[in-house]
């Protein structure tokens, strides 16, 4: 019985999804091709009919909802409408959300894999750059001001979202990690000039007397 027309596309997608989860969980070097293929429900020997190497697969794993329409573009309870006028604020909230923080396996690879990329070849670095640039471009669409001003702010906010989540995940104290995410969220909105309604974490910070950045009133 012949395979359906989209069989190879679906199989390749299954390999990419398996690799993304495993790389996010354990890092590039600690995951074998056999484990990746098993996670996709396929045999080890079939890998090379889809990818030239593990590094070739790695470059395709470095996608996110900015560049890959098949990527799981939201975490549970988080929605992002890429066509909305306030998409920048939506992305920042999604990126710094509790759901993204907790869902390591489905994390944006820019958060989970930056040190691996830094040690990898040009193809992986180019893939990372593509995703980062896409994030900056989407953030920029929601900002006012000159092109250069918007671009600089969008770059800074994107880097802060990625870096903030990386640092939050390295902190043992969960309350401190939540505080860091909330701070990045507030500062990002302040820099962009977006309206911002503090969530519960920021309200708790204020009650404890901590200084919190607030976006200016529109």
- 40-60 confidence digits (pLDDT tens): 999 988 999 999 988 889 888
| Residue 45: domain span | 1-61
Instruction: Tell me what the mean pLDDT of segment 84-109 comes to.
Output: 92
| Per-residue pLDDT tens digits for 3-20 | 676 888 899 999 999 998
Asked if residue 52 and residue 67 are part of one domain, the reply reads: no
How far is 43 from 64, CA to CA, in rounded Å? 26
Instruction: Output the domain CATH number for residue 203.
Output: 1.10.357.10
Is 166 in the same domain as 87?
yes
Q: Cite the DSSP H helix spans in 146-211.
A: 147-170, 174-192, 200-207
Angle of helix 147-170 versus helix 87-95 axis, rounded to 10? 20
pTM: 0.80
**Are the beta carbons of 70 and 139 closer than 8 angstroms?**
no
Which of 9, 42, 61 is the last residue before a domain boundary? 61
Average pLDDT over residues 134-143: 92
Cα angle 207, 208, 210; round to 5: 105
């Amino acid at each position: 019985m012949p395979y359906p027309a989209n069989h190879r596309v679906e199989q390749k997608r299954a390999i990419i999804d398996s690799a993304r989860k495993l790389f996010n969980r354990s890092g590039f070097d600690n995951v074998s091709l056999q484990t990746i293929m098993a996670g996709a429900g396929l045999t080890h020997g079939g890998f090379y009919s889809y990818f030239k190497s593990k590094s070739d697969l790695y470059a395709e794993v470095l996608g996110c909802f900015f560049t890959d329409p098949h990527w799981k573009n939201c975490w549970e309870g988080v929605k992002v409408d890429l066509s909305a006028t306030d998409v920048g604020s939506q992305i920042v909230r999604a990126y710094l959300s509790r759901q993204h923080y907790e869902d390591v396996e489905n994390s944006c690879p820019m958060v989970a894999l930056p040190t691996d990329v830094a040690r990898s070849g040009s193809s992986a670095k180019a893939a990372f750059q593509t995703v980062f640039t896409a994030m900056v471009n989407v953030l920029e669409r929601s900002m006012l001001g000159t092109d250069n001003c918007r671009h600089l702010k969008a770059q800074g906010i994107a880097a802060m979202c990625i870096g903030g989540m990386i640092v939050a995940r390295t902190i043992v104290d969960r309350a401190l990690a939540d505080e860091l995410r909330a701070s990045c969220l507030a500062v990002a909105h302040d820099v962009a000039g977006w309206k911002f309604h503090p969530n519960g974490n920021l309200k708790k910070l204020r009650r404890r007397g901590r200084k919190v950045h607030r976006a200016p009133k529109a």
